[in-house]
């Protein structure tokens, strides 16, 4: 198994750092999948994660000007690594004013992903910061649990409002109850509802717009104003929203009634999918 990659472009480096910061906020530990064309950050829906799963994908050629990898074998030309997300974002943080960033798979005392940053410095000598991020190589037999999740046909698909607004609303609601209802319809309306014995709070978002439906036939005679709803743990939604520091290029929400909510975002050229299951 081999992996070496290099970023020299400042904008690419900043973008990669932002993605890594987002991943660090969404998942404490995640899987990094390295394939010839892509990098994926994966969180699979284990009980330990509370049933939440995440799939983040980026095209390597949009970031790295050098990228070489050799997977486990010729037929399985992929590498799956488990790491603590915060380590990667902390390592990249030091690369803010870097001339170049190199990442490679190494084995110094223990297997690691070594991030090496050459800093711009005022003196003639270069300064080099190296971070050895401990990793765990995930064996082939566990790869099947880490594949791209299948998205079931949603009952409603709707564009999200400004995430910052949504986050501040949800943050306040968290103080009232942990049980949140997300509901939306095909008329561009999305509601966030909190209900307790004493109080019921609903925030209404209107005129959000809906993407064109995939299968017209099933929904043709459906009442456009009918709300599809799902009950979720508010903290999971808040964790997802807290990870979005920058407003995405595209943000979509798919609701499968009483089953799950699926967020589909695009941050420039990086796609992020986040699944929150319904409360049982």
Partner 1 sequence: MKCLVTGGNVKVLGKAVHSLSRIGDELYLEPLEDGLSLRTVNSSRSAYACFLFAPLFFQQYQAATPGQDLLRCKILMKSFLSVFRSLAMLEKTVEKCCISLNGRSSRLVVQLHCKFGVRKTHNLSFQDCESLQAVFDPASCPHMLRAPARVLGEAVLPFPPALAEVTLGIGRGRRVILRSYHEEEADSTAKAMVTEMCLGEEDFQQLQAQEGVAITFCLKEFRGLLSFAESANLNLSIHFDAPGRPAIFTIKDSLLDGHFVLATLSDTDSHSQDLGSPERHQAVPQLQAHSIPHPDDFANDDIDSYMIAMETTIGNEGSRVLPSISLSPGPQPPKSPGPHSEEEDEAEPSTVPGTPPPKKFRSLFFGSILAPVRSPQGPSPVLAEDSEGEG
Q: By the criterion CB under 8 A, which residues form the site for partner 1?
A: 84, 87, 90-91, 94, 106, 108, 110, 112, 121, 123-134, 136
Residue 147 CB, nearest distance to partner 1 (Å)?
25
Residue 87 CB, nearest distance to partner 1 (Å)?
4
Length of the chain: 280
Residue number with CB closer to partner 1 (4 or 219)? 4
Residue 70 CB, nearest distance to partner 1 (Å)?
17
Residue number with CB closer to partner 1 (94 or 210)? 94
In terms of Cβ atoms closer than 10 Å to its own Cβ (0-12, 13-18, 19+), residue 151 is: middle
Residue number with CB closer to partner 1 (115 or 261)? 115
> No. of H helices and E strands in the chain?
5, 18
**Cα-Cα-Cα-Cα dihedral of 126, 127, 133, 137, to 10°?**
10
Residue 2 CB, nearest distance to partner 1 (Å)?
13
Q: Which of 133, 103, 134, 98 is nearest to 116 (CA)?
A: 103
Residue number with CB closer to partner 1 (35 or 114)? 114
Contact 119, 97 (CB under 8 A): yes
Residue number with CB closer to partner 1 (133 or 184)? 133
DSSP for 260-272, written as a single string: EEEEEEEETTEEE
Q: How many CA atoms lie within 13 A of 152 on its CB side?
A: 11
Residue 20 CB, nearest distance to partner 1 (Å)?
13
């Amino acid at each position: 198994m081999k992996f070496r990659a290099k970023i020299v472009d400042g904008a690419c480096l900043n973008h990669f750092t932002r993605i890594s910061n987002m991943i660090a906020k969404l998942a404490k530990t995640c899987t990094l999948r390295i394939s010839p064309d892509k990098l994926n950050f994966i969180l699979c829906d284990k009980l330990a994660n509370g049933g939440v799963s995440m799939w983040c994908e980026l095209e390597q050629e949009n970031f790295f000007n050098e990228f070489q990898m050799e997977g486990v074998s010729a037929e399985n030309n992929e590498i799956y690594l488990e790491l603590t997300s915060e380590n990667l974002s902390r390592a990249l943080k030091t690369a803010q004013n870097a001339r170049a960033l190199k990442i490679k798979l190494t084995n110094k005392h223990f297997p690691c992903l070594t991030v090496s940053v050459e800093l711009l410095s005022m003196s003639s000598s270069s300064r080099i910061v190296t971070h050895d991020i401990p990793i765990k190589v995930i064996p082939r037999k566990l790869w099947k649990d880490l594949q791209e999740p299948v998205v079931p046909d949603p009952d409603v698909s709707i564009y999200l409002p400004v995430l910052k607004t949504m986050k501040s609303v949800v943050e306040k609601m968290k103080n009232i109850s942990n049980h949140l209802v997300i509901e939306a319809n095909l008329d561009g309306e999305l509601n966030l509802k909190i209900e307790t014995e004493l109080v019921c709070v609903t925030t209404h978002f209107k005129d959000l717009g809906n993407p064109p439906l995939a299968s017209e036939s099933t929904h043709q005679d459906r009442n456009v104003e009918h709300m599809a709803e799902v009950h979720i743990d508010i903290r999971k939604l808040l964790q997802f929203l807290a990870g979005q520091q920058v407003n995405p290029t595209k943000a979509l929400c798919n609701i499968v009634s009483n089953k799950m909510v699926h967020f589909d975002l695009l941050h420039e050229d990086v796609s992020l999918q986040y699944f929150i299951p319904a409360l049982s």
